């Protein structure tokens, strides 16, 4: 799993992480996480958390021009229930399995790799954001503070409304 090292707190997203297909070489300027233990589910859940809005909001408190391991290791990861862990891992797995290069990864989740319609992609991202927000016990007021950090271009009004609705359903 690789993440973008050069980033700013004023970008649409500060943390941008993705799964790297097998047999892809990374440059020395590409920071990545290697998992010594845990399987695909742990990787997918980590990816989901790192790409979530609540995690990104937290990261914006510390990033000036780059995200490095010193900053990353100091960030807090929410305490997920088993249900939330599985759910966000499954969502991230489907979002990450964009083509046949991820076939082995997708098969471990019982899904077929391939492109997703925009509506399904947004639904999966909202599910991740809502479950991570719930794991941190964020209230509506907390969500207001969090969303104020993102422009409407970065997080649309529709996305915000749907995120609020899903968080309310989960709470």
Q: Has residue 142 got a pLDDT over 90?
A: yes
Q: What's the rounded mean pLDDT across residues 21-26? A: 88
What is residue 106's predicted lDDT score, i.e. its pLDDT? Answer: 96
What is residue 137's predicted lDDT score, i.e. its pLDDT? Answer: 95
Q: Which ranges of the chain does DSSP label H, i.e. alpha helix? A: 40-50, 53-60, 69-74, 82-96, 103-107, 118-135, 140-148, 157-170
What is residue 1's predicted lDDT score, i.e. its pLDDT? Answer: 87
What are the φ/ψ torsions at residue 3 (nearest 5 degrees)?
-135, 155
Q: How far apart are CA 46 and CA 38, in angstroms?
A: 11
Eight-class DSSP state of 100: G
Q: Has residue 13 got a pLDDT over 90?
A: no
pLDDT tens string 77-133: 999 999 999 999 999 999 999 999 999 999 999 999 999 999 999 999 999 999 999
Residue 160 · residue 126 · CB < 8 Å:
no
What is residue 83's predicted lDDT score, i.e. its pLDDT? Answer: 96
114 torsion bin: left (phi>0), alpha (psi -120 to 50), beta (else): left
What are the residue boundaries of the structural domains of the chain, listed by start? 2-170
What is residue 94's predicted lDDT score, i.e. its pLDDT? Answer: 97
pLDDT tens string 151-165: 999 999 999 999 999
């Amino acid at each position: 799993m690789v993440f973008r090292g050069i980033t700013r707190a004023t970008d649409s997203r500060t943390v941008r992480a993705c799964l790297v297909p097998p047999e892809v070489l990374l440059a020395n300027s590409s920071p990545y996480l290697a998992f010594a233990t845990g399987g695909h589910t742990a990787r997918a859940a980590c990816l989901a958390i790192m790409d979530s809005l609540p995690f990104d909001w937290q990261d914006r408190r510390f990033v000036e021009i780059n995200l490095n391991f010193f900053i990353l290791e100091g960030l807090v990861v929410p305490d997920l229930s088993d249900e939330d862990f599985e759910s966000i891992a499954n969502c991230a797995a489907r979002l990450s399995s964009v083509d046949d290069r991820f076939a082995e990864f997708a098969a471990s989740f019982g899904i077929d790799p391939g492109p997703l319609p925009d509506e399904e992609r947004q639904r999966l991202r909202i599910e991740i954001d809502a479950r991570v927000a719930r794991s941190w016990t964020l209230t509506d007021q907390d969500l207001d503070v969090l969303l104020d950090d993102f422009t409407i271009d970065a997080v649309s009004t529709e996305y915000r409304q749907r995120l609020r609705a899903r968080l309310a359903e989960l709470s």
